[in-house]
Amino acid sequence: MTRRRYIILLLLLVLVLAAWTFVPQPSQQTDEAFSTPSPLNTAAPRSYRLGFTPFPYEISMEAVNWVYDTLAEDSDVIMQHFDNGVPWPEALMGEPYSDNIMNDWEMRRSLTPPDHAIILSMTPIAFFRDGIALYRGDQDDMPLPAPWDSYAFEDPEVSTAYFNHLHRAIEYFQPDYLVMGIEVNMLLSKRPDLWAGYVEMQQLVYDKLKTLYPELPMMVSVLGMAYFPQYAPEYDDLPAQLAGLEQLLPYSDYFAISLYPYLSSLVDGIPPHFFHDLFALAGDKPIAISETGYPAQILQMQTVDYTFPGTPERQNAYITGLLAQADAYDFQFIVNFVLRDYDALYEAIGGGDLAAVWRDTGLYDENGQPRLVLESWRQTLARPYMP
């Protein structure tokens, strides 16, 4: 793994965070809403897997190895998360992918623990969730070449290329789960004019892949806070979001949620009804947390008036509460996106608000020391997995 690729990975994180725009409002809860962790079931089997992405905490091969070695012990599923463009022309024509792509794929596959399940996560939507994903070739997220810069989601070239890309990635990684779109409902909020074309493409690609892989769970993920405009007012069209979800769920095997409740007005806690209201949207679909996290340290932003009073105790309460919900609702998996705090990476790129958003959401701190929540996580992981 080269230094250049690590820098690219870091820039990907920053760009993804840039896609998160939120307007903090006055606190909605008292601190009592987050003072006591939910009781854990420490004996019964669990229906869900627990995992992380292999995102490194600094620019070094030592960091990569540490993350893979540690998640081998502290998880039973790994999410290989690709939110950095699609090789559109090569995928359409069945041509070889660039060394940039294949070296990355080979590194990830070779380091993945052999006894771990794999979640393959890809998306046809751009980082900012405002159009078609950019081009991945010799570099990540390059401008779309002609004629791809003029295509819409519903164009047959786009659906064919994306189907081919997912097919090739499935054959390569042999995943146990496929996320075929990341936080897709953000597109509905940012570019509602593109939504119908995206849904048409999603349905077509899902149907074709299901014919080839009928036993592989396939899903798109949605941003959970978009269904709570009272806490995330930038998502102010709840009827449109609910209608969009109705279009998605028939072509998504799970209700997969990207959940970061601290990126909202829920600064001092989570309302008792929050999880119930969110998971009720699943209908009869199994529930999965495709990515989540919660800061264990204070998050203070400079460009917006926002301070989140993160502590290890609050992180523990959130994750422990989510584990209790996983038992109650028979989740399929939970992915805490960051394994170890990335303060070293944060400093390497000069800091800034956007890079800080996930910095302190690891279950290990920046020095590699376990956080309070890791005990509950490990207790749950030690329970037998029985899907």
Concatenated DSSP letters for 56-89? -SSSSHHHHHHHHHHHHHH-SEEEEE--S-B-HH
pLDDT at res. 381:
98
pLDDT at res. 43:
80
pLDDT at res. 350:
85
Whether the per-residue pLDDT at 27 is higher than 90: the answer is no
Q: How many helices (H) and strands (E) does the chain have?
A: 13, 11
- Can you tell me the mean pLDDT for 48-63? 96
Whether the per-residue pLDDT at 244 is higher than 70: the answer is yes
Structure-model confidence comparison of residues 285 and 1, the more confident one: 285
Q: Which H or E run contains 258?
A: strand 255-259
- Can you tell me the mean pLDDT for 217-235? 98
Paired tokens of 55: 């995102």
Provide the pLDDT confidence category of residue 18 given band limits of 50, 70 and 90: very low
DSSP string, 307-359: EEE--HHHHHHHHHHHHHHHHHHT-SEEEES-SB--HHHHHHTT--HHHHTTT
**Domain edges within the chain:** 3-382
- Can you tell me the mean pLDDT for 315-325? 97
pLDDT digits (tens, 9 = 90+) for 81-105: 999 999 999 999 999 999 999 999 9
Provide the pLDDT confidence category of residue 67 given band limits of 50, 70 and 90: very high
CA distances from 283 to 9, 264, 277, 278, 342 (A): 36, 25, 11, 11, 37
Paired tokens of 66: 């540490």
Determine contact, residues 16/186, Cβ cutoff 8 Å. no
- Can you tell me the mean pLDDT for 148-161? 99
pLDDT at res. 38:
67
CA distances from 173 to 73, 108, 348 (A): 21, 9, 31
* Beta-sheet pairing, 298-301 with 287-292: unpaired
Whether the per-residue pLDDT at 216 is higher than 60: the answer is yes
DSSP character for 290? E
pLDDT at res. 354:
79
Average pLDDT of the chain to the nearest whole number: 91
pLDDT at res. 305:
82
What's the CA gap between 67 and 339, in Å, rounded?
A: 7
What's the CA gap between 134 and 151, in Å, rounded?
A: 12
What's the CA gap between 45 and 99, in Å, rounded?
A: 43
The dihedral over CA atoms of 88, 91, 94, 96, expressed in degrees to the nearest 10, equals: 90
Paired tokens of 371: 């956080």
Percent of the chain with pLDDT over 70: 90
Whether the per-residue pLDDT at 8 is higher than 50: the answer is no
Provide the pLDDT confidence category of residue 40 given band limits of 50, 70 and 90: confident
| Sequence-ordered list of residues with C-beta below 8 angstroms from that of 165, at least 6 positions apart, any chain | 86, 87, 91, 122
Across 8-22, 69-83, 159-173, 315-329, least confident range: 8-22
Determine contact, residues 1/68, Cβ cutoff 8 Å. no
Residue found by looking up tokens 């929540």 in the block? 373
Provide the pLDDT confidence category of residue 14 given band limits of 50, 70 and 90: very low
This prediction has a pTM of 0.92
What's the CA gap between 266 and 302, in Å, rounded?
A: 19
What's the CA gap between 239 and 199, in Å, rounded?
A: 17
* Record: fold of 3-382: TIM Barrel (3.20.20)
Provide the pLDDT confidence category of residue 349 given band limits of 50, 70 and 90: confident
CA 235 to chain centre: 19
Whether the per-residue pLDDT at 19 is higher than 50: the answer is no
Whether the per-residue pLDDT at 3 is higher than 60: the answer is no
Residue found by looking up tokens 């893979």 in the block? 68
